[in-house]
């Protein structure tokens, strides 16, 4: 019988977090006396950074800086006193509220901070440069996952769509197998079906009539969709998938829209797909794109009872013709 991995005890989890903290603080030089061999600590340079890049309408106050950095008011006050003494910052009472004093870097302060910021960027670039591009993407994604899980703000990620390249089919197969097992309890039969589709696509690939799109978020693959030739006038949309961490940004819709647009450009008159009634998110995308449900049949596959659905979208032939004439 397969065994289920037991979760780590709370003591082991705490130990793992502390071990990571020790490693990372050492790696970025927190324990050194001065950042980049300067007379300023990492915390002091962070204060300079906030002053240099403050995004608010007004220049920050000491209270603003303390809240942004989570610093003790007394500790921050000592840092600011040092900066004033060295001529790195200046202050001015707010015109709207005399109790508020706004701070900003002087010319000397900006000149002091500039090489520190440049040096920090160079250090990070060197650290990333020691890793292959794929590993750099994994590292950045892991860091963002830590930030999000510990309460960081949800940011709009950067994502791109590209055509497939060597290595992508392995990701598509693995992503389908693991996600559908985890979320729907499907067994290895589904992963085998995906592998067969992917292998057939590569073996018979017709670049003039077919396409695979891989969605990348911050440089890491998170989704796919395939346009596969069925006949001269009919194509299939296949292997749409989206990693859970990429949901909610419109990437799934973008993948389907690209597939439909390309099918039109190639002159296909109909786009077909096969899905399951339980895949509600995908069905929502298909409905929004204009697909119509044409038939349903129950079946027992992938270790579960399912209701398979055939959907199709009739493509606008006039649209396709106008695209061809404009080229």
Per-residue pLDDT tens digits for 269-306: 999 999 999 999 999 999 999 999 999 999 999 999 99
Higher pLDDT, 187 or 3: 187
CA distance 90 to 226: 59
For the stretch 219-255, what's the b/e string if a residue is b when 16 or more beta carbons lie within 10 angstroms of its beta carbon?
ebbbbbbbbbbeeeeebbbbbbbbbeebeebebbebb
Ranges of each domain in the chain: 10-130, 159-326
Interstrand relation of 292-301 and 270-276 (parallel, antiparallel or unpaired) = unpaired
Would you list the DSSP string of 83-100? HHHTTSEEEEE-SS-TT-
User: Does the domain made of 10-130 have the CATH classification 3.40.50.720?
Assistant: no
Residues β-bridged to residue 104: 90
The residues near 295 (Cβ < 8 Å, ≥ 6 apart) are 309, 310
Per-residue pLDDT tens digits for 74-114: 999 999 999 999 999 999 888 777 778 999 999 999 999 99
Task: Give the pLDDT mean for 28-35.
Answer: 67
Report yes or no on whether pTM surpasses 0.75.
no
| CA proximity to 219, closest of 291, 162, 279, 294 | 162
Q: Which homologous superfamily is 159-326 in?
A: Gcn5-related N-acetyltransferase (GNAT) (3.40.630.30)
């Amino acid at each position: 019988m397969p065994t289920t991995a037991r979760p780590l005890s709370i003591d082991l989890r705490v130990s793992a977090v502390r071990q990571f903290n020790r490693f990372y603080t050492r790696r970025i030089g927190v324990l050194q006396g001065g950042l980049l061999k300067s007379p300023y600590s990492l915390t002091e340079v962070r204060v300079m950074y906030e002053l240099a890049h403050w995004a608010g309408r007004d220049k920050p106050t000491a209270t603003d800086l303390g809240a942004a950095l989570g610093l003790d008011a007394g500790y921050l006050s000592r840092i600011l006193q040092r900066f004033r003494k060295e001529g790195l910052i200046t202050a001015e009472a707010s015109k709207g509220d005399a109790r508020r004093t706004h701070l900003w870097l002087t010319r000397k302060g900006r000149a002091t901070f500039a090489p520190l910021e440049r040096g920090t960027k160079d250090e990070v670039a060197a650290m990333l440069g020691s890793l292959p591009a794929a590993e750099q993407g994994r590292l950045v994604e892991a860091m963002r996952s830590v930030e999000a899980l510990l309460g960081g703000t949800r940011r709009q990620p950067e994502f791109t769509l590209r055509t497939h390249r060597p290595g992508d089919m392995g990701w598509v197969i693995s992503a389908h197998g693991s996600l559908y097992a985890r979320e729907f309890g499907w067994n290895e039969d589904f992963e085998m079906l995906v592998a067969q589709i992917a292998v057939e696509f590569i073996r018979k690939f017709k670049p003039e009539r077919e396409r695979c799109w891989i969605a990348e978020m911050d440089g890491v693959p998170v989704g796919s969709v395939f346009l596969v030739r069925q006949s001269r006038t009919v194509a299939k949309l296949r292997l749409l998938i989206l990693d859970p961490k990429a949901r909610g940004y419109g990437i799934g819709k973008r993948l389907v829209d690209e597939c439909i647009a390309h099918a039109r450009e190639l002159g296909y008159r109909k786009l077909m797909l096969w899905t399951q009634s339980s895949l509600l998110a995908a069905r929502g995308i298909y409905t929004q794109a204009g697909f119509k449900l044409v038939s349903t049949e129950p079946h027992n596959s992938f270790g579960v009872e399912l209701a398979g659905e055939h959907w199709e979208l009739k493509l606008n032939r006039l649209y396709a013709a106008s695209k061809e004439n404009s080229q």
